[in-house]
Amino acid sequence: MAYNGGPMTEAMYYVLLALMHPNHGYQLMQAITEVSNGRLIMGPGTLYGVLSRMQKDGLISLAEDDGRRKTYQITLEGERALRMEFSRLKAMIQDGSILETGDENE
């Protein structure tokens, strides 16, 4: 399914986030764990699937390819999509702030 601007999967979001710095394979998995503060550990199958799909959708591109190892980077379109998703998530957090006031009333 081509990315249509709707809500991203968690995997997509973090891969794009991690690819703000061009990266490859194993290191990218580590970067994802890092950027999610250890909350998300992504398996190589999931990562590979997300990478090939997002590359097809034009959200990321190859920065370098030495045959065995491919280095990916985020594209302009990818960054735009990531920022849109970020504002969407932020709006969702703000909308959820009533839960925090509710807690305070307790």
Residues within the interface to other proteins (CB under 8 A):
1, 9-11, 25-26, 29, 41-50, 53, 67-70
What is the smallest separation between the CB atom of 83 and other proteins, expressed in angstroms?
A: 22
Q: CB-wise, 30 or 86, nearer to other proteins?
A: 30
- The 3-class SS string of the chain reads CCCCCCCCCHHHHHHHHHCCCCEEHHHHHHHHHHHCCCCCCCCHHHHHHHHHHHHHCCCEEEEEECCCCEEEEECHHHHHHHHHHHHHHHHHHHHCHHHHHHHHHC
What is the smallest separation between the CB atom of 43 and other proteins, expressed in angstroms?
A: 4
What is the smallest separation between the CB atom of 82 and other proteins, expressed in angstroms?
A: 17
